[in-house]
Amino acid sequence: MKKVIKIAALSLLGLTLSVAHADENAIRQALTKSMPSVKVGSVKPSEISGLYEVTVGGNIFYVSDDGKYLVQGHLVDVAARVDLTEEKLSGVRKQAIEKLGLDKMIVFKPKESKYTVSIFTDIDCGYCRKLHSEIDQYMAQGITIQYLFFPRAGKGSDSYHKAVSVWCADDRKAALTAAKKGDTPPAKTCVNPIDEHMQLAEDFEVKGTPMIVTEKGNIFPGYLPAKQLAEALADEKGQK
């Protein structure tokens, strides 16, 4: 009798997996057909029956199991008061930044690093300049800063060309510091990751700069003084 029950359970599990796989394929095919330019990442069941969680770049959407309906927004566990989507988005952001790689960022690292943040910055942004003018304070708090460029005026703007010139400079860190002080960097071009930075910013729905992304993929929008940022990062790590 136990053997029969076990076989039935395994058969049911296999059927469930087959249905889930079929739904995933249906969703992928439907999205590819309706939005051919969109690169679909993972597709998996969400916490709501009949609704699938789909990652696209740094975003998460919810799609019906036939791929016909797409829902844009955050899924919240009302009882637990937890934003389930934001929790998963942090993981998506973390993976996206890791995939980009350190060789495509300008990194300022203290002698003893306790924390690491990735910051989307615009050379001509006032608060971005204020943050960078205090770079020694962030270093003193043990915060490694990984810069990515997000020229808010868009591709082809003065800010965009400055970002490219800084990246192509012989000493990127010195060129960035000078540009943040208001100096116009000597015009240079080379193979650069600025467009990748901007695409990532779009995926993360960056609205302004600076935007700080923590090691865990959480977001702090806007400028934070070094001490306040260090406290927030310590809280994130559960050190306080």
**Using one digit for the tens of pLDDT, what is the confidence trace for 115-130?**
999 999 999 999 999 9
Q: In what order do the strands lie in the sheet with 115-121?
A: 106-108, 143-149, 115-121, 211-214, 219-221
Domain boundaries, the chain: 2-73, 100-236
Asked if pLDDT for residue 75 goes beyond 70, the answer is yes
pTM above 0.85, yes or no: no
pLDDT band at 12 (very low <50, low <70, confident <90, very high): very low
pLDDT of residue 2: 47
Of all residues in the chain, what percent are helix, strand and coil, respectively (each to 5)? 45, 20, 35
> Is the separation of the CB atoms in 209 and 128 below 8 Å?
yes
pLDDT band at 21 (very low <50, low <70, confident <90, very high): low
Structure tokens at 209: 């700069």
Any idea which residues carry the catalytic annotation? 122, 125, 128, 152
Whole-number Cα distances in Å, 158 to 70, 106, 151, 174:
37, 19, 9, 19
- pLDDT (mean) for 193-200: 96
The more confidently predicted of residues 2 and 234 is: 234
pLDDT band at 69 (very low <50, low <70, confident <90, very high): confident
Q: In this predicted model, what pLDDT tens digit does every residue of 80-119 receive, in sequence order?
A: 888 888 888 898 899 999 999 999 999 999 999 999 999 9
pLDDT band at 22 (very low <50, low <70, confident <90, very high): low
**Looking at the domain covering 2-73, what would its CATH class be?**
alpha beta
Fold of 100-236: Glutaredoxin (3.40.30)
- pLDDT (mean) for 131-138: 98
